[in-house]
Structure 1
């Protein structure tokens, strides 16, 4: 029996310009009403996940910034991890010459060194503005505590950057493509699987009691923790091969679990 359903946001539940399908909203609400809790696992910040849950009209557990921060559905902090300051400074220094947009995220803010058209485009897809700080590098480790460092750009540049980051920092960090336009760099052993494991440990659940759906490379770690994994049909082939079932929408994953008898049914009230 599935005791926790986990969804990614961008490219999965959340479309362009924050669009959410009515069918997905209805399926999530019905699932929760029947007794299966929801968790959102995203590269986005916790306050952004909270805003999406508010728009959907449901409560849920939250795994934000690819596992850096975890809150349960009672808003209780479960886990938090940020970069070692020296490592963060070394990363931003190393990537400074890359011809891509760089952002540094803390628990609740996103910073960059200089404004550009790309920054405006990125901000439009966020639920908050990116703060421009020309002196950003000097602030890291003092007034800015990074939890995620990101390179943004065209898909072809992102693929090359992801490979270079992996070669440069090796086993020191976790890094992955979280969207076709960005590469996320995280503290070591911080990913969606590690965040979800912290969550389910506190809930007393086993990995096989979890189902998940996502669409990108940062979702692969959670695909690997459970046999009940779903991937969006728009995902790259390398991501699809890591999941159990391909779907077009979140509600299709929920419907498939229901057909398999893996979701709780609302108890029928019988008049006596």
Structure 2
């Protein structure tokens, strides 16, 4: 039986301009009423996840920045992982000529080195402003401890940059196309799947007792954890192939679990 339901945010539970479908909110609340725990696993920051859970009106565990930070629903700190400073600087030097905006996320803030129209677009979809820090890389290890480095830009540039990162760093770090307009660069072995495993170890659940839903390549490690995985029909075909089921909405995944008498 399912005891935990995990949802991605952007493109899954969360639409443009922070919109959440009323049917999805209703379905998540019904799960909570049935005693089923909720969690959000996102490339976003913990602050954003907390804001979304507040908008939905439920409590939940929080797996932020693709698994770099994991929090229990009661606020307990379960896990955290940031870049080694030298490795973060190596990544920044490698991507410096990419024709894209570079942002650096710490546990609770997002930085970039200069302002442009892309920064405004990024800020509009976040729950906080991107901080301009002209001396960004030189502040690493000082007041900036990088947990995630992101390239933002056009889809073609994102795909090319993702390939170059894999070719250069191989297994030295993890990188994901988390949206058609961005690629996230993470410390080695940091992904949603490992973040979920850390949560399961803490709360005492088995992989077959959870279900998850997502829409991007950064959700694939999450899909691999449980047999009850759902991809959004809007997801890339390669993402859909890795999930057990494909649905149009979060509430449809929840309805499917009920139909299968899994809760």
TM-score, normalized by length of structure 2?
A: 0.99
Q: Which has the larger radius of gyration?
A: 1
Partners of 1:29 and 1:232 lie apart in 2 by 20
Deviation of 1:156 (Å): 1.1
Unaligned stretches of 5+ residues in structure 2: none
Deviation at 1:171, TM superposition (A): 1.2
Quote the Cα distance in structure 2 between the aligned partners of 1:168 and 1:154.
21
Report the aligned-residue RMSD: 0.5
Post-superposition CA distance 1:132-181 (Å, at most 9, x none): 11100110122210000000001111111110111111111000101111
1:217-256 to 2 correspondence within 5 Å?
A: 217-256=217-256
Distance 2:205 2:258 in 1: 19
User: 1:267 matched to which residue of 2?
Assistant: none
The equivalent of 1:269 in structure 2 is: none
Stretches of structure 1 that go unaligned for 5 or more consecutive residues are: 264-272
3-state DSSP of counterpart to 1:231: strand
Give the structure-1-normalised TM-score.
0.96
Structure 1 residues 186-244: Cα deviation after superposition (integer angstroms, max 9, x where no partner)? 01000000000000011111111110000000000010111100000000001000001
- Runs of 4 or more above 3 Å deviation: none
Cα distance between partner residues in 2 of 1:244 and 1:156: 28
Tell whether the 8 Å contact from 1:41 to 1:63 is kept in structure 2 after alignment.
yes
1:81 is matched with which residue?
81
- 1:152-231 to structure 2, matched below 5 A, reads 152-231=152-231
* Aligned equivalent of 1:70: 70
TM-superposed CA distance for 1:89, in Å, is 0.8
Q: In structure 1, what is the Cα distance between the partners aligned to 2:50 and 2:182?
A: 22
Q: CA deviation at 1:12?
A: 0.1
